[in-house]
Chains A and B, each alone.
Chain A
Amino acid sequence: MQVEVSRRKFLQGSISLSIVGASAISATNLFANNDEDSGGGNSSIPKTITTKTGTGKADEVPILCGMCVNKCAAFARVEDGIITKLNPNPYFPKSRNMLCPRGNAGIQTTYDPDRLKYPMIRIGKRGDGKYKRVSWEEAYDAIVNGTDKFKGLKQILDEEKDNRATIGYCNGEGLSKEGFEVLVGQKIGTPNYVDEVSICLETAGGGFFSTIGTYPEIDFEHADYLVIAGANRAEAIITPDTLDMFKYTKGRGLKTICIDPRFTNTAAKSDKWLPINPGTDLAFVLALTWVVFNENLQNEEFMKKHGVGYEEYKQHILSHKYTPEWAEPICGIKAKDIYTIAREFMNAENPIYYPGRRSVLSPNDYQLRRAMAIFQALSGNMDKKGGYIFGNRGLLPAEYVKQPIYENTKERFDTEGIAFPTLKSGSWIVFRNMILEGKNPYPVRAMLMRKHNPMMSVPNTAKTRAFLEKMDLNVVIDILPTDTAMLADVILPEASYLERMSPVKSYGFLEPAVVMRKAAIKPLYETKTPEVIFKELGEKLSKPLFEVSKKHDKALQELIKEKGEKVAFEEGGYNLAEPFEKPIEEKNEEIITEVFGKKAWEIIDEKGVYYPHIEEYHKQLSPNDFQYYPKSKRKYTSRGDSLKVICKNDSLASGGIDVMPTWHDEWKFSVPKGEFRLITGRHAQFTQSGTQNNMMLRDLIPTNFVWINQRVADKMGIKFADRVEIKSEVGAIRLKAYPTEKIAPNQIFLLHGFGSESKGMEFAYGNGGNDATIIKDDIEPMYGAAVMHSTNCKIRKV
């Protein structure tokens, strides 16, 4: 008997199986479409969920993975217009001929039955999921002119007298992110931009950058001692770090000390695991530093040469008496372990204190990064083989955009409580909260959102909802009906990463390369690639918005008087579509040919990767190993004498920030009795809310469970898979419990990215708990980045 389960039926079947007796979600709204919907163009939807690869003719199209931020290179195997397999690309040094589970499951993202398939405009109330399928023309028109349900940009801007800052926009990480920033930020002209940076790694980047000039890469191949604190490279995969690190752990050359509150898979691969109290890593590093100075273990010569304020820092550490004994009660790590690690670290040939890029977890994260960078510098193992690598710059030049100047546009205002606000991406939390609290000096009335799901990614979902509900116009460009899309007035369906060519991207560091994503298949349904959307939206908006400027912008009025309207429009850069007029295919070829020559284009077009001498350097060494650059051509040292280690940064004083990393007792870890500190993290099979509807990955992680210490759970009568409610001061969620000894008795952990409330995503809907609902919207003082580990929760069985 042949049973062929269709994608849609598979979902429905498993849902109805899991909720016995309950009928499958009715397909009355537009988001739940049937399999009969055919794809657009020449592409088609495979009939089976997984497709066995064939032995006949197939295209191998170079792509860049879009399942997370790493951008690993791969080849899509395309048979009869269907992507049957994604294989790792052996030419890209960064991803080293591998694809992780999410990368492999990318096919399921493209063929997700719940994909946004055509443009839609809202016809019901916000959030009730009632949308009308429209043409792209109608959708663009709704953005410009609005409908009877919502206002368009033209009217909003007219009412705000051409203050472009009344438009806010956000965008998630990705290769087309820059294009969206060009369209909305530079061409439409609003400064009010927020993105993933202020809810992610802002202080990690900022701390390292402001101390040693960059966020470094690591040469694991030659390193011999590793302290990996607050980073989980076995599960939060970063290329090439993950790929390199674990070939040398477990007694094979890289002694590894894992510092993490949780027993992660990284802990499982380490030589020693020390559970630290959340948010106290700074005290740990300061104590390590104290041991080094106290016992004079540092590379004095290196620090004398490169350190700025080095002597003062030494005095600062010693005089504050940051001893291991002092740190022990703060961190929960024994003093003797701290002594041992400090000594072993400094005695090692090539020790690494892993920079560990991740979300901001504690308010002192910026200072932690500074202290980490300085501690690494004390070993002298920096800008050299086996150490922190500063490497090369990228291989491609920046692009120039003709940017109009809007006289009436106001500056951004999201600076409250922030010492050094970043002009570019701001602070999501401060931006949102100031608007909610009415602290914005002018109205922000529209949000243009692309590939970003703040309803699930920004702490305190209730506030995000209120913020989005306040807007006159919400536009969402995405591939799935996310929780954020359900609050949109206009939804534009984008092509997934396998259906589009993206702008070429260059990577620097030890083995630089340029990579390019080609389209494996044509966009499915009525979706369009981001660059085409930017161009068309730009075209539709140009004239109407120019009219608004003409009405309110005195400088423009004078320019028109002087040069005439046509010239003013062209020269002033008011043609918003202008940066996107050339198709991305042509643009990529032009850039590559211009910088590297025609042969380079042929290579990158075929292999997806190019770097100078690739044909000579790239070799297969064994079935598993490739050489990208010969060792002699790798630039282990690039800063040389110019390397500065800023131990003391006086400029920070103006913002009220410590000029040297200093511990403050308010950062001590404490949890009221009966409560738990909520900590977050990652598993290798899941990329936040973006993969929550992926049918393949849900086999591996069906839902998010909340980790609770086994003995505590026993006492509370909570067993595996019991439903519990987790309640913080900002919200409550319900999900299943996972009692385990891998977490401390006063902490709980849950995976981020579950608990969608969008009925448009059949699997993700109502599955697990959304941590953003319960995480408090605290910020750190440097950039106003979200702090993820400051929330205490109560837990009870339901």
Chain B
Amino acid sequence: MARYGMALDYKNCINCKACEVACKEENGVELGAEKHRIWVGGNNPEGQWPFLDIASAAFMPSQCQHCEDAPCQEVCPTNATYYDENHVVRVDSDKCILCSYCMNACPYDARYVDDRTMTVDKCTFCSDTRLARGETTTACQNTCPTKVRTFGDLDDPNSEISELLRTREHFSLKSHLGTNPKLFYLT
């Protein structure tokens, strides 16, 4: 029983996308550019050559925010989307009817359709792979070249992530929607 979250030291991110590939290989995610559980976003820098705005060209790794109040869970007609015992937002593919309501309701575009099961798939924090084997990192954290990510138990005051959130300023994405995300971006 834990309350898992992830802190992202996103200024470290170089947009190499190692996390995306590690995620796909670890979790057997389908190939295809649209089929991703996690991603790194970037922007075209503002301005014209040679006056380009470096600040506008930041990279933002993202994925399911594992909201405490997840819109995707609320809208699911069959409760296929549920919070597991570690507060991870999961999909029970046996119950998913693929109405796609959750895909529309998720404010983060974190869900997609797995064509093999014809159900909605998303980030699981590696719950059924790495965590199930007793490992303590997700595939994306483990592989990251510049060590952007720290995954851990928010309820454990001794965890690295708790320490980071106590000592570093951070923000969450679209928190005004009342979703209470458990992904924290360190500034």
Direct chain A–B contact by Cβ atoms under 8 Å:
yes
Interface residues of A (CB under 8 A from B): 1-5, 10, 48-55, 84-88, 96-101, 103-105, 107, 234-235, 237, 242-243, 246-247, 249-250, 252, 263, 265-275, 332, 622-625, 684-685, 695-697, 699-700, 702, 709-711, 740-745
The answer to whether A268 touches B28 (Cβ under 8 A) is: no
- With A50-B31, A85-B25, A696-B31 already in contact, the answer to whether A247 and B20 are too (CB < 8 A) is no
The answer to whether A268 touches B24 (Cβ under 8 A) is: no
The answer to whether A2 touches B47 (Cβ under 8 A) is: no
The answer to whether B31 touches A695 (Cβ under 8 A) is: yes
- With A1-B118, A86-B25 already in contact, the answer to whether A702 and B33 are too (CB < 8 A) is yes
The answer to whether A741 touches B21 (Cβ under 8 A) is: no
Residue of B18, B33, B142 most packed against chain A (CB within 10 A): B18
Given contacts A275-B50, A700-B20, 16 further A-B contacts (CB under 8 A): A50-B30, A54-B129, A85-B139, A87-B142, A88-B143, A99-B22, A242-B146, A247-B147, A268-B42, A273-B54, A275-B49, A622-B160, A623-B150, A624-B141, A684-B17, A744-B50
Determine which of B11, B44, B160 lies in contact with A250 in the assembled complex, contact meaning CB atoms within 8 Å.
Answer: B11
Determine which of A1, A53, A88, A99 lies in contact with B130 in the assembled complex, contact meaning CB atoms within 8 Å.
Answer: A53
For B160, list chain A residues within 8 Å (CB).
622-623
- With A88-B143, A623-B141, A696-B24 already in contact, the answer to whether A742 and B49 are too (CB < 8 A) is yes
Determine which of A85, A623, A685, A702 lies in contact with B152 in the assembled complex, contact meaning CB atoms within 8 Å.
Answer: A623
Report the Cα distance A243→B22, complex, angstroms.
17
Determine which of A625, A699, A741 lies in contact with B45 in the assembled complex, contact meaning CB atoms within 8 Å.
Answer: A741
Shortest Cβ gap from A332 to chain B (Å): 8
B52, CB-defined interface residue at 8 Å? yes
The answer to whether B21 touches A104 (Cβ under 8 A) is: yes
Report the Cα distance A88→B30, complex, angstroms.
22
The answer to whether B16 touches A101 (Cβ under 8 A) is: yes
What are 8 of the A-B contact pairs (CB < 8 Å)? A2-B117, A50-B28, A53-B27, A55-B132, A242-B145, A273-B52, A696-B24, A741-B48
Nearest B residue (CB) for A271: B54
The answer to whether B144 touches A98 (Cβ under 8 A) is: yes
Report the Cα distance A87→B50, complex, angstroms.
40
Report the Cα distance A49→B31, complex, angstroms.
7
Determine which of A97, A249, A699, A741 lies in contact with B52 in the assembled complex, contact meaning CB atoms within 8 Å.
Answer: A741
Nearest B residue (CB) for A233: B14
B59, CB-defined interface residue at 8 Å? yes
The answer to whether B14 touches A234 (Cβ under 8 A) is: yes
- With A246-B12, A268-B54, A269-B14 already in contact, the answer to whether A105 and B21 are too (CB < 8 A) is yes
Report the Cα distance A94→B115, complex, angstroms.
39
Nearest A residue (CB) for B57: A268
Number of residues from B at the complex interface, CB < 8 A: 56
Determine which of A234, A247, A702, A740 lies in contact with B44 in the assembled complex, contact meaning CB atoms within 8 Å.
Answer: A740
**Contact mask B32-47 → A, CB, 8 Å, 1/0?**
1100000000101101
For A242, list chain B residues within 8 Å (CB).
14, 145-146
Nearest B residue (CB) for A246: B146
The answer to whether A247 touches B12 (Cβ under 8 A) is: yes
- With A2-B116, A53-B129 already in contact, the answer to whether A246 and B54 are too (CB < 8 A) is no
The answer to whether B15 touches A265 (Cβ under 8 A) is: yes
Interface residues of B (CB under 8 A from A): 11-12, 14-18, 20-22, 24-33, 42, 44-45, 47-50, 52, 54, 57-59, 115-118, 128-130, 132-133, 136-137, 139, 141-147, 149-152, 160
For B58, list chain A residues within 8 Å (CB).
268
Nearest B residue (CB) for A696: B21
The answer to whether B14 touches A684 (Cβ under 8 A) is: yes
Report the Cα distance A266→B18, complex, angstroms.
16
For A105, list chain B residues within 8 Å (CB).
21, 25
For B26, list chain A residues within 8 Å (CB).
52-53, 85
Determine which of A55, A98, A696, A700 lies in contact with B143 in the assembled complex, contact meaning CB atoms within 8 Å.
Answer: A98
The answer to whether A3 touches B115 (Cβ under 8 A) is: yes
Residue of B47, B57, B117, B143 most packed against chain A (CB within 10 A): B143
- With A53-B26, A275-B50, A623-B141 already in contact, the answer to whether A265 and B33 are too (CB < 8 A) is no
For B27, list chain A residues within 8 Å (CB).
50, 52-53
Report the Cα distance A247→B148, complex, angstroms.
9
Nearest B residue (CB) for A105: B21
The answer to whether B57 touches A87 (Cβ under 8 A) is: no
For B132, list chain A residues within 8 Å (CB).
55
The answer to whether A263 touches B57 (Cβ under 8 A) is: yes
Report the Cα distance A5→B16, complex, angstroms.
27
The answer to whether A709 touches B146 (Cβ under 8 A) is: no
For B24, list chain A residues within 8 Å (CB).
50, 696
Determine which of A3, A98, A263, A684 lies in contact with B49 in the assembled complex, contact meaning CB atoms within 8 Å.
Answer: A263
The answer to whether B54 touches A624 (Cβ under 8 A) is: no
Determine which of B18, B49, B129, B143 lies in contact with A745 in the assembled complex, contact meaning CB atoms within 8 Å.
Answer: B49
For A51, list chain B residues within 8 Å (CB).
25, 28
Shortest Cβ gap from A455 to chain B (Å): 28
For B25, list chain A residues within 8 Å (CB).
50-51, 84-86, 104-105, 107, 696
Shortest Cβ gap from B1 to chain A (Å): 19
For A53, list chain B residues within 8 Å (CB).
26-28, 129-130, 133
Report the Cα distance A269→B59, complex, angstroms.
9
Instruction: Report the 6 A-B pairs with minimum CB-CB distance, sorted nearest first.
Output: A52-B28, A684-B16, A104-B21, A234-B14, A268-B57, A624-B147
Report the Cα distance A743→B52, complex, angstroms.
10
Report the Cα distance A700→B149, complex, angstroms.
21
Report the Cα distance A744→B52, complex, angstroms.
11
For A271, list chain B residues within 8 Å (CB).
54
For A87, list chain B residues within 8 Å (CB).
139, 142-143
Report the Cα distance A443→B151, complex, angstroms.
63
Shortest Cβ gap from B153 to chain A (Å): 11
Nearest B residue (CB) for A54: B129
The answer to whether A101 touches B17 (Cβ under 8 A) is: yes
Determine which of B31, B45, B118, B137 lies in contact with A623 in the assembled complex, contact meaning CB atoms within 8 Å.
Answer: B137
For A5, list chain B residues within 8 Å (CB).
115-116
Nearest A residue (CB) for B9: A247
Nearest B residue (CB) for A244: B146
Determine which of B16, B33, B136, B149 lies in contact with A100 in the assembled complex, contact meaning CB atoms within 8 Å.
Answer: B16
Shortest Cβ gap from B19 to chain A (Å): 8
Shortest Cβ gap from A240 to chain B (Å): 9
Nearest B residue (CB) for A234: B14
Report the Cα distance A651→B153, complex, angstroms.
64
Shortest Cβ gap from B60 to chain A (Å): 12
Report the Cα distance A86→B26, complex, angstroms.
8
Shortest Cβ gap from B151 to chain A (Å): 7
Report the Cα distance A329→B116, complex, angstroms.
59
For A98, list chain B residues within 8 Å (CB).
18, 143-147
The answer to whether B31 touches A243 (Cβ under 8 A) is: no
For B117, list chain A residues within 8 Å (CB).
2
For A2, list chain B residues within 8 Å (CB).
116-117
Report the Cα distance A306→B169, complex, angstroms.
46
For A699, list chain B residues within 8 Å (CB).
31-33
Report the Cα distance A216→B32, complex, angstroms.
41
Nearest B residue (CB) for A266: B14
The answer to whether A624 touches B15 (Cβ under 8 A) is: no
Nearest B residue (CB) for A104: B21
Shortest Cβ gap from B36 to chain A (Å): 8
Shortest Cβ gap from A30 to chain B (Å): 26
Report the Cα distance A696→B141, complex, angstroms.
19
Nearest A residue (CB) for B56: A268
The answer to whether A709 touches B20 (Cβ under 8 A) is: no
Report the Cα distance A1→B117, complex, angstroms.
6
The answer to whether B145 touches A243 (Cβ under 8 A) is: yes
Nearest A residue (CB) for B115: A3
Determine which of A3, A88, A710, A743 lies in contact with B142 in the assembled complex, contact meaning CB atoms within 8 Å.
Answer: A88
Shortest Cβ gap from A740 to chain B (Å): 7
For A252, list chain B residues within 8 Å (CB).
11
Shortest Cβ gap from B103 to chain A (Å): 19
Shortest Cβ gap from A714 to chain B (Å): 11
The answer to whether A52 touches B21 (Cβ under 8 A) is: no
The answer to whether A99 touches B49 (Cβ under 8 A) is: no
Shortest Cβ gap from A211 to chain B (Å): 30
Report the Cα distance A332→B28, complex, angstroms.
49
